[in-house]
Amino acid sequence: MAVCWSWFALFCLFNQGNLVWGLCTEQGVEIEGGRYTLSNQLEEGSLLRYHCDEGFYPYPHLVRTCNYNGQWEPPPTRSRSRSRCRLVECPDPSVLENGNVWPSDEHYFYQNNTRYECYGGYTLYGSSHRTCLSNGKWSGPHPVCRRDSGDHCPDPGIPPGGTKTGILFNIGDKVTYSCNDNTMILVDSEERVCQEDGTWSGKEPTCYYPYTFDTPLEVSHAFGAEIKNTFSNLQTESTVIQEGRSITLTESGILNIYIALDISSSIDQKQFENARLAVLTLIDKIASFSVTPNYDVIFFSSKIIEVVNILSFFDKDQSKKSLADRLNLLKTIEIKRGDKAGTNLNAVFKKFEEKMTIIKQRQEDFEKHQHVIVVFTDGGYNMGGKPTQTVERIKSLILMDKPKEREEHLDIYIFGIGAQIYDANLRSLTVGPPGQRHYFRLRDTNELHQTFEEIINEEGVKGLCGLHRNYGDMYNAEKKRKKYPWIMFVSVMTDQHTSNCLGSLVSPRFVLTAAHCFTVNNLIENIKVSVNGGYMLGVHKIHTHPQYNINAKVDQGVEEFYDYDVALIELIDDVEISTSLRPICLPCTEQTNAALRQTLTCEQQEQLLIRNKDRITFLTKTNLGEKDAHIKMGENRLDCIKKAVLEPRVSVTEENVTEVVTDNFLCTGGDFPEIDKIACKGDSGGAVFKNYLNRTIQIALISWGNKLMDQCLRDQMAVSDEDSRDFHFNLFKVVPFLKDILGKDTPRYAPLVFVD
């Protein structure tokens, strides 16, 4: 047993049964105004990472590595150039042509504001005001001063800190970019060509300092949009064959996702946990897009550890295994230290190449597969050689010498994480259509996790109705909003009192609720629609179903008649779609077909979604408790609706009960086949829904019931007795009304697309 002694006994480390002491020392590595962390204490290969406050960056170095002879690389220097935190500077904005930048300065720092104005005859495109952000970028899009020059393409402008060559903007003309300071790198297209359609090829470049990072929002915006594109390609490729009444979804458009995670010793335990969580979040998010790709997940350093094997997805014997089972190892695996500090990126690509080759041999439809490789790494490769050749082989395997035609079949994304990034080495390994971002630079793995959390917020998924999060424990209001992002609260004030209803967001502009929540005398200003009780939305108009008439059968003794109890509230403005505010799917829309991942007619959707004894769900107003009930149809329907006679205000007998409970209502309640939950006062207008493949589809709305349940006064989660019944208005019966308003071609709002 080695005796550990040094005047800094802290450096003794227990490692694989031996006491050893760290190689490097902490002398002289301190940073003024900041702190540092070590990925593997003072061991060989450990990465020392500097941290500064928001708006500052470590200078002159972001990181140091402990090398084999116990020296830091780069070594700390004494005296004046000691490490310190410096204020973040943004690249020079005074590259604007044909305009002025205020204030005019030599340097622009974190939180400095700038203004842009064009000379007479020129118009400003992009931001007129920009702020220098803490990640070393300017807020908003690059400003450009343009005038109508008769050129085919618009002046593409110059990124701050950069230079452009090329002054002709007609078809085939080229512009090239570079950054003015050699510490900066140019991210995105170095060269752009004016195309026939009047746009520039590629993507507008930006100059990055070594400390410039992409924010999680930027990454999730770009990556989210790309990955969504991949998914939409898949969806359009899938075809439906209709044989008589049965519908078979053919398996096509297979997506294979290969994920590699760097665990070389420069990544510490916390970073690793973050990265693991990020990968799990990514997979979870992909599942919520309603696509089911095949996955391969590996961890790598000098060696490869296989965590999820894609080949098992193609194995018939294992086809019943759930994704959760397959991901088990990814969730539980512990990473042991002691592996040498190498990073063998080439082995990663070789591994993926090997898997692809096997899939190709085994799957006849390999040509149709799409492949997405996502690599997370904190730096370059220091063993195993350059991966360039391997990537070229993967390209020829997948693109089959038709790089243009088959470009959507292969994407390689690289996420450079942390400070020690060798951009040039990594960027050259990305593959994907020009104009799309495939290389990202993130500050740390913490941000990576946040990135994937936010992907679901992004533009790319705004069109997805009924998308929501699932949580096990449901006690917090914020989580409930994300589980039921479509729920809306409606209140109507009259002189005497306020009545409350629930509603559902069915498009960014419309809320669906029950018509009986309103009377003809209600004034628009007395109708309040809110997301959570606090945030009120402006109401433009109430559209009630033209056939709704509560007094229609007063003469027959029916005090209140609820047929066509449906109303749409038109808001003044679109709501902003987010994780906690998103429309529910409506019957007979294209969006619902997308959610169901089938191409169905309206009638087929109804057959699929409304069946005897099916379990349906609705929410109760207090704390948004979830209530389940079962639809009674066919031979069970009459028994169910007969109980309407118990409501004295509708004077019906068992013989003429259908005069009041028309075929437009779905009946729930009672204790068969299970004890149902029953609606309470205030639940009216709320959605009756089903969850299908992680998407929520509304099939009816809560209209009326035969009994006022005493139990509701004590407990909103009231259960039904033998006789209590709820009658929900079936939305499939009012599709023409919904289509007439929501599907209307008008400049005022974007229409929903209905199917026949």
Residues annotated as part of the active site: 516, 565, 684
Binding of residue 658 to ligand NAG (CB under 6 A): no
Least Cα distance to 466 among 755, 734, 691 occurs for: 691
Beta bridge partners of 50: 36
Instruction: Give the one residue of 97, 151, 191, 284 binding ligand NAG; rule: CB under 6 A.
Output: 284
Question: Cα(6)–Cα(347) distance, rounded to whole angstroms?
Answer: 40
Q: How far is the CB of 325 from ligand NAG (least distance, A)?
A: 11
Question: Cα(8)–Cα(336) distance, rounded to whole angstroms?
Answer: 26
Q: Which stretch binds ligand NAG (CB under 6 A): 29-37, 647-655, 711-719, 732-740?
A: 647-655
Interacting residues of 344 by C-beta distance below 8 A, sequence separation 6+? 300, 301, 302, 303, 304, 381, 383, 384
Q: Which stretch binds ligand NAG (CB under 6 A): 303-311, 409-417, 442-450, 551-559?
A: 551-559
Binding mask 7-26 for ligand NAG (x = CB under 6 A): --------------------
Cβ–Cβ under 8 Å, residues 592 and 738: no
H-helix or E-strand spanning residue 604: helix 602-609
**Would you say 659 or 671 has its CB closer to ligand NAG?**
659
Q: How far is the CB of 84 from ligand NAG (least distance, A)?
A: 15
Instruction: Give the one residue of 17, 103, 120, 121 binding ligand NAG; rule: CB under 6 A.
Output: 103
Q: Which stretch binds ligand NAG (CB under 6 A): 68-76, 386-394, 650-658, 679-687?
A: 650-658
Place of tokens 């009444």: 245
Q: Which stretch binds ligand NAG (CB under 6 A): 15-23, 89-97, 122-130, 652-660?
A: 652-660
Total binding residues toward ligand NAG, as defined by CB under 6 A: 19
Instruction: Give the one residue of 146, 437, 553, 695 binding ligand NAG; rule: CB under 6 A.
Output: 553
Instruction: Give the one residue of 145, 558, 631, 741 binding ligand NAG; rule: CB under 6 A.
Output: 558
Question: Cα(542)–Cα(112) distance, rounded to whole angstroms?
Answer: 47
**Would you say 288 or 377 has its CB closer to ligand NAG?**
288
Cβ–Cβ under 8 Å, residues 291 and 234: yes
Cβ–Cβ under 8 Å, residues 504 and 686: yes
**Would you say 115 or 393 has its CB closer to ligand NAG?**
115
Binding of residue 346 to ligand NAG (CB under 6 A): no
Strand 304-308 vs strand 294-300: parallel, antiparallel, or unpaired? antiparallel
Question: Cα(413)–Cα(307) distance, rounded to whole angstroms?
Answer: 19
Instruction: Give the one residue of 94, 229, 500, 694 binding ligand NAG; rule: CB under 6 A.
Output: 694
Residues 451-490 interacting with ligand NAG (rule: CB under 6 A): 470
Q: How far is the CB of 131 from ligand NAG (least distance, A)?
A: 10
Cβ–Cβ under 8 Å, residues 88 and 136: yes
Least Cα distance to 687 among 508, 522, 474, 485 occurs for: 485
H-helix or E-strand spanning residue 99: strand 99-102
Binding of residue 656 to ligand NAG (CB under 6 A): yes
Backbone angles phi, psi at 310, to 5 degrees: -65, -30
Binding of residue 269 to ligand NAG (CB under 6 A): no
Binding of residue 645 to ligand NAG (CB under 6 A): no
**Would you say 155 or 453 has its CB closer to ligand NAG?**
453
Residues 357-396 interacting with ligand NAG (rule: CB under 6 A): none
H-helix or E-strand spanning residue 642: helix 637-642
Binding of residue 651 to ligand NAG (CB under 6 A): yes
Least Cα distance to 56 among 29, 78, 89 occurs for: 89
Q: How far is the CB of 695 from ligand NAG (least distance, A)?
A: 9
Q: How far is the CB of 565 from ligand NAG (least distance, A)?
A: 16
Least Cα distance to 717 among 583, 622, 611, 630 occurs for: 622
Question: Cα(684)–Cα(703) distance, rounded to whole angstroms?
Answer: 6
Q: How far is the CB of 55 from ligand NAG (least distance, A)?
A: 8
Instruction: Give the one residue of 141, 557, 634, 736 binding ligand NAG; rule: CB under 6 A.
Output: 557
Instruction: Give the one residue of 359, 426, 660, 741 binding ligand NAG; rule: CB under 6 A.
Output: 660
Instruction: Give the one residue of 39, 65, 264, 288 binding ligand NAG; rule: CB under 6 A.
Output: 288
Question: Cα(566)–Cα(154) distance, rounded to whole angstroms?
Answer: 50
Binding of residue 653 to ligand NAG (CB under 6 A): yes
Angstrom distances, CA of residue 132 to CA of 127, 183, 444, 751: 13, 18, 21, 39
**Would you say 356 or 558 has its CB closer to ligand NAG?**
558
Binding of residue 652 to ligand NAG (CB under 6 A): yes
SS3 (DSSP) at 221: helix
Binding of residue 131 to ligand NAG (CB under 6 A): no
**Would you say 241 or 324 has its CB closer to ligand NAG?**
324
Question: Cα(699)–Cα(596) distance, rounded to whole angstroms?
Answer: 13
Question: Cα(154)–Cα(150) distance, rounded to whole angstroms?
Answer: 9
Binding mask 83-102 for ligand NAG (x = CB under 6 A): ----x---------------
**Would you say 141 or 557 has its CB closer to ligand NAG?**
557
User: Using N-to-C axis directions, what is the helix angle for 388-399 and 345-362, rounded to 10°?
Assistant: 20
Question: Cα(574)–Cα(626) distance, rounded to whole angstroms?
Answer: 27
**Would you say 106 or 148 has its CB closer to ligand NAG?**
106
Least Cα distance to 38 among 18, 54, 22, 21 occurs for: 22
Beta bridge partners of 40: 42
**Would you say 112 or 232 has its CB closer to ligand NAG?**
112
Instruction: Give the one residue of 109, 147, 167, 180 binding ligand NAG; rule: CB under 6 A.
Output: 109
Q: How far is the CB of 456 from ligand NAG (least distance, A)?
A: 9
Binding of residue 338 to ligand NAG (CB under 6 A): no
Cβ–Cβ under 8 Å, residues 501 and 490: yes
SS3 (DSSP) at 746: coil
Which positions touch ligand NAG (CB under 6 A)?
87, 103, 109, 112, 284, 287-288, 470, 553, 556-558, 651-653, 656, 659-660, 694
